[in-house]
Amino acid sequence: MNRCPSCDYPLPHDRERIGARCPSCRDPLYEPPGRVSRFAREDEGACALHAGRETVGTCGRCGNYFCEVCRTRWRDQILCAACAERALASREATPEQARAHFRQALLGLVLSLGSWPVFILGQVSAIGFAFANRNVLLALLALVLVVSAVLMAVVGTGQAAAALRTRGHHMIMATSGFLIGGLFLGIFIGNYVLQLWIT
């Protein structure tokens, strides 16, 4: 079990869940324990939070000066504790999550868009089958293309729905993929049901 380096308080395995500081002693979890800043001299900058303490740098996000106690490492950035806490409170996506959201949204859009031309090629093959003396190869090609188009639309709609559910920076792409794939499936199922009802 993980423990706080300063007070030995037991920490859960998911350290992002508890934030950048120990819930017991409030010492930074991502920095070495036991450091105390010296007081700043007259010509030096002071920590924005601890007045009069020597600064060791500026926050990578807000630009405020911070002392050794306030300095926190967060996803390979040096930040002040306030910015790390804000990132935790907003449930900011990790770079991996952002890339996964982009992949899902893009895959949903590409597969949903791709299902339309594949389906049209399947219909052209079916028409060719009717006019080419019932060529078995054309019938098989038409069947494969239509089934492929339906599978592409189902997977594309599912990927777009997953991207919509996780919410991210690519919502327009995910929504477009969801609508295009859903429209394809709706037309396909409606047409199939209509054909069954007519016959």
Domain extent for 173: 95-198
Q: pLDDT (tens digit, 9 = 90+) per residue, 75-100?
A: 677 888 788 877 777 666 666 777 88
Residues 190 and 129 in one domain: yes
Q: How many residues does the chain have?
A: 199
Q: At which of 60, 75, 90 does a domain end? A: 90
pTM: 0.54
Q: In terms of Cα–Cα distance, which of 51, 55, 49, 36 is closest to 85?
A: 49
Domain limit, last residue, from 90, 125, 158: 90
For 14, counting Cβ atoms within 10 Å of its Cβ (0-12 exposed, 13-18 middle, 19+ buried), the class is exposed
Shared-domain flag, residues 186 and 129: yes
* Domain's final residue, options 40, 70, 90: 90
Mean confidence (pLDDT) of the chain: 80
Give me Rg for the CA atoms of the chain: 29
Q: What is the mean pLDDT of residues 19-43?
A: 61
Contacts of 43 (CB under 8 A, 6+ apart): none
Tell me the mean pLDDT in the region 105-109.
95
- 141 or 23, which is more confident? 141
Task: Let me know whether 129 and 54 are in one domain.
Answer: no
Say whether both 81 and 123 belong to one domain.
no
Q: Over the stretch 11-24, which tens digit does the pLDDT of each residue have?
A: 776 655 566 667 67
**Domains in the chain, number:** 2
Looking at the structure, tell me whether residues 114 and 143 fall in a common domain: yes
Note whether 78 and 140 are same-domain residues: no
pLDDT at 149: 95
Worst-scoring range by mean pLDDT, 23-27, 115-119, 190-194? 23-27
Per-residue pLDDT for 109 more than 70? yes
Together in a domain, 16 and 56: yes
pLDDT the model gives residue 160 = 94
Nearest CA to 34 out of 61, 60, 11, 5 is that of 5
CB 177 within 8 A of CB 166: no
Q: Is 13 helix (H, G, I), strand (E, B) or coil?
A: coil
Percent composition of the chain: helix, strand, coil (DSSP 3-state, to 5): 55, 10, 35
Closest to 187 measured CA to CA, from 140, 123, 128: 123
